[in-house]
Amino acid sequence: MTITVANLRTTRAGIRCDRASALGNPFELRNEAERTTVVEAFRRYLGE
């Protein structure tokens, strides 16, 4: 499978995968110290 990253403003085709989509990370990073906690929460959210 080939993955192509495109700018949503200039490209209409494809699958949106950002915070607003079902695959987006719903956990907010308020400061750099929370990065590990937020990443781990997102991993659990995805079921890894």
Please, which residues have CB within 8 angstroms of residue 25's CB and are 6 or more apart in sequence?
19, 38, 42, 45
Query: pLDDT tens digits, residue range 1-48?
Result: 687 788 878 887 777 788 888 888 999 999 999 999 999 999 999 886
DSSP label of 22: T
Give the pLDDT confidence score for residue 22 in this predicted structure: 82
pLDDT of residue 13: 74
3-state per-residue secondary structure call for 19-39 = CCCCCCCCCCCCCHHHHHHHH
